[in-house]
Amino acid sequence: MFHLIWYILIGLISGVIAKSVMHVHMTMFWTTVLGIIGSIIGGGVTHMFSRPTNERYHPAGLIFSTLGAILILFLCYKLKIHFPQVNPF
C-alpha cells in the first residue's frame, strides 16, 4: 500500500514540475497521470544504465521522472494533443 502512495506522490511532484517548466495548465488528475507515466519512462531509462544498490529506490528517480514527463509534454505539443485544462473562473 505504501508503494502505491509513494508512486502517486512522486508522480504528482514530477508532474507539477514538468507542467510548470512547459507552461501547461491541466487538472491535478492529469498532472498525476503525467507524472506516473513519466516515472515509468524515466525508471526504464535509469534501470537500463545502472541498477540501484538497495534494489528499492534509485537516487535519480525524481529527476528522471520529471524528465520523462517533460518528454511526454513535448511530444504531445508536437503531435498537437491537448490535455483537459482548468478553467480559471
Mean pLDDT on 25-36: 87
Phi, psi of 25 (to 5 degrees): -105, 120
Instruction: Answer for the pair 13, 64: CB distance below 8 angstroms, yes or no.
Output: no
Cα separation of 85 and 46, whole Å? 31
Domain boundaries, the chain: 2-51+59-78
| Residue range 34-80, pLDDT digits in tens | 888 988 888 788 778 776 666 666 556 788 889 999 999 999 889 98
Q: 46-54, long-range: CB within 8 Å, 24+ apart, which pairs?
A: none
Enter the pTM of the model.
0.80
